[in-house]
Amino acid sequence: MSWRIRPRIWIGLGVMLAGTILGVVVGFDLRWSLFLTIVVALYWLPILVAYDHRHRQRQAIGTLNFLLGWTFIGWVVALVWAKTR
């Protein structure tokens, strides 16, 4: 098993860092910016998992997550679907 970090992970971390910096620049407290960045990253976790596993239905998972991810049940369904083959 390789511990090499994939380029998509670096891009995701860069986007999270940019979101945190942008939040601080706009005037949010650093803790609040970190919290919002983590919440947004967790919200999109199902589609990131689907793309990472090259799931055949990743567009449908992304649509489900976009439309119903704000409900906890919709988010869990999308995450479980993304983890299945």
Using one digit for the tens of pLDDT, what is the confidence trace for 30-75?
Answer: 778 778 778 888 888 898 888 888 899 999 999 999 999 999 999 9
Mean pLDDT of 12-29: 79
CB 64: neighbour CB atoms within 10 A? 20
What pLDDT, on the 0 to 100 scale, is given for residue 5? 58
pLDDT of 3 over the 60 cut: no
Task: Write down the pTM of the prediction.
Answer: 0.70
Residue 24 — very low, low, confident or very high, per pLDDT cuts 50/70/90?
confident
- Where along the chain do its domains lie? 1-43, 44-85
End-to-end Cα distance, the chain: 20
Residues 6+ apart with CB under 8 A from 58: 47, 50, 51, 82
Separation of alpha carbons 82 and 47, rounded Å: 7
